[in-house]
Amino acid sequence: MTTIRAAFYARVSSEQQAAAHTIESQVSALTERARSDGSPVPPERQFVDDGISGATLARPALDRLRDLAAVGAIDRIYVHSPDRLARNYAYQVLLLDEWRRANAELVFLNRSLGKSPEDDLLLQMQGIIAEYERAKFMERSRRGKRHAAQGGSLNVMSCAPFGYRYVSVREGGGKARFEPNAEQARVVQLIFSWIGRDRCSLNEVCRRLQKAGALTASGRRVWSKQAVWHILQNPAYVGRAAYGKTRMMPRTRKTRPRPPRGRPAEPRRSNTPVAVDSKEWVFVPVPPLVDERLFRAAQEQLEENRTRARLGRRRLGYLLQGLTCCAICRYAYYGKTTRERGPGHCLKDYRYYRCTGSDGYRFGGERICSNGQIQAEFLEAAVWCEVCDLLKNPEKLERELKECGEADASLQNAEALKALRLKQQHALERLIDSFTEGLIEKDQFTSRMARTKGRIAELDAQIQAYSGDIDQLEHVRLAAERLRELSATIGPDLLDADWHRRRELIRTLVQKVEIGKDNVKIVFRVLPDVGRSGPESIAVTLPR
């Protein structure tokens, strides 16, 4: 007999399900089943994706589970049902095949798996039918909404743009409609007038709105150019609300190198909106707020502003843009260039990274963070130096782990405990053979059997306690091997890499850069497999 290293995976799709705690019923059922099978699952092997779609494989908890299975650290995986594992049939087959090759048994609570060819065929058919039903439902819904929009119904709209109030089907007596909001409609008319008649730029419009005290749709006083631009592009303000301006498409890549403050590292949805050609839009009549001629004049002025913009020689951007964040308020650091007098009283451009929370104008006039700015040259050089050091010396990961001594000690202790357990198992078998041959009495056999089983259970618990450190050591060794491969691919010209090459390498290896008052913490990504998300991290702290 050997100890079964068990794990379980649970998932719910939507944020509403996550808020309703429906994940708890899955966790409870999985825990009870594993306990009844004699292979309880410790907390570190319980993998839960709360509120993440099953139509994608980019799930943090699932990635950690796959990584452990890939290094042979898991023998059995419990999942409530196939649709909790993946909604896409191809993804189900991929995961099943991957875990079978890793000798990890997959157990579904609602059905048996792999007992016969008929079982495998039934699972495949269920996956195909579920995927077909989902696609058919989505296509019917899309065609039905488009048909309703072509008939002039606003029921297909879920909200109204800035300047209107959305009257729902229930409030409107069975028919949804847009009603002008007097205060917001006045702001919309001012925006079009400033662009179409006064020929202002977007920046000037934002300054005028802020000076006038106009509030955005979210109630803020600070207006962005993007918000003003979207208002100017919306044909609803001339009486034609557009339906079908975007289409949901599978997400192809991560749009941000680091997740925004308070957001998960991986997006919860597998799809992202993509703009659709205006020729395919369906227009629904709504009350107009702006004259047609003023709307056209605003579009012409936007085009003129765009053509008159002098691009000139574009400077290279900030190397760490999108990766830096504040260790105090958790808001992002952004790049800022200021012109100051340097030696000889000559004006010179100085580059800094500045905390968003230290800008009072963003938060009603009061700054929420006291963390200072940091020179861009120093920070970028320090991060690049650490990246080069990691690529040149990938064994540094293993060396730092061994210096702690915990992982190696855990590995040695676990091996010694496994040897003791094997001896106890042999003793148990000899005890059974002795009783079968009549060499010992029943009372003596019962007492010895209880002591031996108790000792085996104690050894199993101790071995389980060391499993986390052993898994970490396996992860680090695998990560070091990946870094060696990457370093060999790059070659000896690492220090001479240009700005674009440096940014590519930094975004590949660095997860985030946390800037504190006294130090800078660089958190590296350690990717156990190519194309995976959900990185395990190591940190390097530098004096500021």
Whether 139 shows a pLDDT value over 50: the answer reads: yes
542 vs 280: which has the higher pLDDT = 280
Instruction: Write phi, then psi, for 155 (nearest 5 degrees).
Output: -60, -25
Q: Which residues contact 342 (CB under 8 A, 6 or more apart)?
A: 348
Whether 506 shows a pLDDT value over 50: the answer reads: yes
Cβ–Cβ < 8 Å for 409, 538: no
Whether 238 shows a pLDDT value over 90: the answer reads: yes
Query: pLDDT (tens digit, 9 = 90+) per residue, 149-165?
Result: 888 888 888 889 999 99
> Domain boundaries in the chain?
6-135, 164-245+281-308
Q: Which residues contact 9 (CB under 8 A, 6 or more apart)?
A: 47, 48, 49, 61, 62, 65, 77, 78, 79, 84, 85
State how far the Cα of 391 lies from the Cα of 221, in Å rounded to an integer.
46
Taking Cα atoms as reference points, which of 178, 190, 245, 247 lies closest to residue 215? 190
State how far the Cα of 45 lies from the Cα of 98, in Å rounded to an integer.
18
Query: pLDDT (tens digit, 9 = 90+) per residue, 338-359?
Result: 877 766 667 778 899 999 999 9
**DSSP for 38-57, written as a single string:** T-PPPGGGEEEEES--TT-S
Cβ–Cβ < 8 Å for 74, 6: yes
Per-residue confidence (pLDDT) for residue 137, from 0 to 100: 77
- Can you identify the CATH homologous superfamily of domain 6-135? Resolvase, N-terminal catalytic domain (3.40.50.1390)
465 vs 427: which has the higher pLDDT = 427
**Confidence band, pLDDT 50/70/90 cuts, at residue 530:** very low
**Confidence band, pLDDT 50/70/90 cuts, at residue 536:** very low
* CA max distance for the chain: 107
Instruction: Just give the CATH number of 164-245+281-308.
Output: 3.90.1750.20
Cβ–Cβ < 8 Å for 371, 395: no
Query: How crowded is the C-beta side of 179, counted as CA atoms within 13 Å?
Result: 10
Q: Which amino acid is at 272?
A: T
Instruction: Please tell me whether residue 515 adopts helix, strand or coil conformation.
Output: strand
Highest mean pLDDT among 17-21, 329-333, 343-347: 329-333
